[in-house]
Structure 1
Amino acid sequence: MSTIAANLQAVEATIGAACTSAGRARNEVQLLAVSKTFPAEAVVEAMAAGQRAFGENYLQEALDKMQEVARLQPATPVEWHFIGPIQSNKTRPIAAHFDWVHTVERLKIAQRLSEQRPPELGPLDICLQVNISGEASKSGAGEDELPELARQVAALPNLRLRGLMAIPERANDEAQQRAAFARLRALFDALRAQGMALDTLSMGMSGDLGAAIAEGATIVRVGSAIFGARNYE
């Protein structure tokens, strides 16, 4: 068994245990393997172990990697998620090459993604990023502006608003971790109560995925625990 395959098995066990502890079925939580900074060969190794969804932060690196993965594994379907900051001049290639975008925080970006999504690809799945801890250094919409932003984004053609994403302030205490995720879940539930057909909470990484799963995460984002330490972030 390869190192990446063994790491995926260990992460899978951690997610499975967290689901059992939370009284949830394992198939309620998707593992998103964060492959930023790692080569196409690492993605292909993870694919060989059964992983199909990969998260990328850096656009040009991701586009090059997608091309190489398609060359190495042309017959294997892959789901690509963009999870990095989005600049206006990068929306066209994001709209054309990704299946999901987790980091929409402004209407202008959503409008550009909608306008630039090739119609033959079908709707682009979208999560709105929320600055759940109110940190000045963090990206994301504020809690107060979220309902209106969600309403506007849900109305755009060529996009499908699926849910919310957040990266809370780092905390080692599980109660603090759960409190932040519970706030995001409450915002999610409030939008659903208003009639929005949301089904996705993208929250939780290696250090807090247990707390995230306990509070309802449907996608957890794990990178170094699968691929190893990064040379840069």
Structure 2
Amino acid sequence: MQISWEPLRSDPEPQRLLFLAPHVGGGAAVGRDLARSLPDGWAVYGLVLPGRERLIAEPVEWEFDAAATVAADALEEVAARHPAAEVVGLGQCSGAWLMYAILARAASRPGSRARLMVAVSQGAWHLPRVHPDLPESSETLWAQLVASGDAQPAVAEDEDARDLLEPVIRADYTAVAGFPYAADPLKIPLLVVAGSEDRDIDRSVAQSWADYCTRLDFEEVSGGHYLLQENPAAVARAVVERADLTS
């Protein structure tokens, strides 16, 4: 399985490395606005899963354990190039679970510099989940994605975009349905960031992460469910403030 970390923001001597895992159907590019919102001293890398961006020629199917292990190995290779930098992991929506698993693998190894996990718009592993069956019809699928707010109408109306994204979305939904429902705690703090207009994630849902970290913090910012797109500057501020406290 091919997985890589796409550089979204470079720094000659970074103090911190932010590794970002996107939501279902997303790619590393969803983190570009967040990367631009961070101050000097931060380098940012976005996760590229098979079948998208630079790995577009790869088969789109992937599986949780294998992806987390390969991504953790690749993360360590990147971190080794910056031996003085702290590591922060961030995931949006289901990407939070994947990033958690990646960081757990990396943090368990000698010399880990993992300092903070950030879950954006996501509750913890054990909460009940809804995995809707994806319709076989492409038209019905895109109508469902638009109705749920998981796709923009402009994308659904673009035949080329649909042809490119639909296999990725189907593969990601299949992979997420196979995600585990439990995980060992991380030995680092965890920050949950949620949108004030998100109907699914609030302070009580954020509290579900309490058993998975050494310290839990919650930050509510203006926006809905896809905060990296809607309010990246606010997410960046929350991450920087919490990272400063954990250093």
TM-score by length of 1: 0.37
TM-score by length of 2: 0.36
